Amino acid sequence: MQELLYAAGIAFVIALAVGPLVIPVLRRLKFGQSIREEGPQRHYAKAGTPTMGGVIILAALIVPTLVFAGESAEVWLALFVTVGHGVIGFVDDFIKVVRKRSLGLKARQKLLGQIVMAIALAYIASTYFGRGTDLWVPVTGINIDFGPLYYVLIFLVLVGTTNAVNLTDGLDGLAAGTTTVAAMAYAVIAMAFGKSDLAIFCVALAGATLGFLRYNIHPAQVFMGDTGSLALGGALAAVAVLTKTELLLVLVGGIFVIEALSVIIQVISFKSTGKRVFKMSPIHHHFELSGWSETKVVTVFWLVGTLFAALALVVLALSRTGGIKL
């Protein structure tokens, strides 16, 4: 328990300490965020705010994780997936901000990197960590063996989670706050599975994102960019795979799921009927355009995210007390 507290506390302090060092550098390098022209008008004032702040989160995450859980091969795999997605995001941010190419990396370039990480995660987890190739269905006790299709499943989990977190990162503090909650929930889940080293990784992630919030809360001094959002999504997906709780991730990251679904619904509706279901997607912009303040949207989403995480823990508890083999 002490190691969990130390890891979370050190990650939090590192994020607080690194922020004032990194933010001025990003500002001097003119790594400023561009704002969508079709977005809410109040966001125009955010143009030029430094982005790529995800490096703060990664620095704060890596140090305590290696200090307290550096001997765990599972933790190294989780870090590989997290940092790997962070690198993809950093390159994407760099191209968009420095090279002034609005689309950043091409989709196939991102997918190639994610395919490599998905294959590594699926192979190592199933072969060396006894993860197997089956999917556990909470409460029911059912395990569905995917066989070779397990690699496809893990790829979809990685891509789905990283994109969902990326879509959520549209308001000051929204993605960082909801990830803090999700990471704490997964720390409990990891402990329930006897994976204390992964729990250390999770609390370090929570401490890092909470420390980053000091500079990302409204009005944000820095944005995490794809550097942060892809890394956070990769981290949550990796822990879900290593704890064999991919379906629980749907609940733990309920806010991320809602954000992604709102975009999918909006696109399908507009292409098929020419009408929009929401005033703007992702759905947090819909509430903004409905008159909610940015801080109200973020606060409500944090609360809803907390309820989803709590529900996931209840489902886990029900599964265990029901005598279901996990």
What value does the mean pLDDT take over residues 295-322?
94
Q: Is residue 326 part of a domain?
A: no
Q: Is residue 299 part of a domain?
A: yes
The whole-angstrom separation of Cα 288 and Cα 133 is 42
Cα angle value 304/310/315 (rounded, 5°): 125
Residue 124 to residues 127, 249, 296, Cα–Cα distance (Å): 5, 20, 42
Assign 77 a pLDDT band (cuts: 50, 70, 90).
Answer: very high
Contact 241, 125 (CB under 8 A): yes
Quick one: how far is CA 49 from the chain centroid? Answer: 21
Q: Is residue 11 part of a domain?
A: yes
CB atoms under 10 Å from CB of 296, counted, come to 12
Feature table: binding site for Mg(2+) = 166, 226
Helix axes 254-273, 150-168, angle to 10 degrees: 90
Q: Is residue 6 part of a domain?
A: yes
Q: Is residue 106 part of a domain?
A: yes
Which one, of 163, 164, 78, lies nearest residue 121 by Cα?
78
β-strands 134-137, 142-145 pairing: antiparallel
Q: Is residue 323 part of a domain?
A: no
Contact 52, 227 (CB under 8 A): yes
Considering its fold, how many domains does the chain have in total? 1
Taking only the tens place, the pLDDT of each residue in 9-56 is 999 999 999 999 999 999 888 776 665 555 565 655 566 689 899 999
Taking only the tens place, the pLDDT of each residue in 92-150 is 988 888 766 656 788 888 889 999 999 999 999 999 998 899 999 999 889 999 999 99
Taking only the tens place, the pLDDT of each residue in 213-268 is 999 999 999 999 999 999 999 999 999 999 999 999 999 999 999 999 999 999 99
Residue 253 to residues 100, 172, 237, 271, 304, Cα–Cα distance (Å): 32, 18, 10, 28, 10
Q: Is residue 156 part of a domain?
A: yes
Residue 10 to residues 3, 66, 144, 156, 256, Cα–Cα distance (Å): 10, 12, 39, 33, 27
Which one, of 259, 231, 247, 229, lies nearest residue 117 by Cα?
231
Residue 119 token pair? 């294959």
Residue 65 token pair? 């994780």
Return the pLDDT at 17.
Answer: 98
What value does the mean pLDDT take over residues 171-181?
97
Radius of gyration of the chain (CA): 19
Mean pLDDT for the chain? 91
Q: Is residue 324 part of a domain?
A: no
Feature table: binding site = 166, 226
- Which residue range forms the structural domain that includes residue 58? 1-318
Residue 76 token pair? 């190294």
